[in-house]
């Protein structure tokens, strides 16, 4: 077994994953409390209550995104 020093490992081989392309040292900007879109929140809540928010199209998109993500893991 060969031991490696921390400086000899350059990082991931592939940089195609989005999480590897982001700079970890760059802090995220905190969300502004006033940036909440009350009209959007109200519409989504109403659609959920009416049972019209979830559609076959939205489900298909969500499933496609999940499958793509699982392929990269």
User: Could you give the C-alpha distances from 73 to 4, 16, 18, 48, 66, in angstroms and in order?
Assistant: 25, 12, 12, 31, 11
Cα–Cα distance measured from residue 51 to residue 38, given in angstroms and rounded to the nearest whole number? 20
Tell me how far the alpha carbon of residue 66 is from its chain's centroid.
11
For residue range 12-46, what is the model confidence (pLDDT) as tens digits?
555 555 555 555 555 666 666 667 899 999 999 99
- Name the more confident of 55 and 15: 55
Q: Give the chain's domain count.
A: 1
68 found inside a domain: yes
30 found inside a domain: no
26 found inside a domain: no
Domain that holds residue 72: 35-73
10 found inside a domain: no
- How is residue 14 written in tokens? 């592939």
Which stretches does DSSP call E strand in 1-73? Answer: none
Q: Flag whether the pTM goes above 0.75.
A: no
């Amino acid at each position: 077994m060969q031991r490696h020093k921390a400086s000899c490992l350059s990082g991931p081989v592939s940089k195609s994953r989005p999480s590897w392309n982001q700079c970890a040292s760059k802090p995220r900007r905190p969300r502004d409390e006033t940036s909440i879109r009350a009209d959007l929140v109200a519409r989504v809540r109403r659609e959920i209550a009416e049972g019209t928010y979830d559609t076959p199209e939205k489900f298909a998109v969500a499933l496609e995104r999940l499958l793509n993500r699982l392929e990269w893991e």
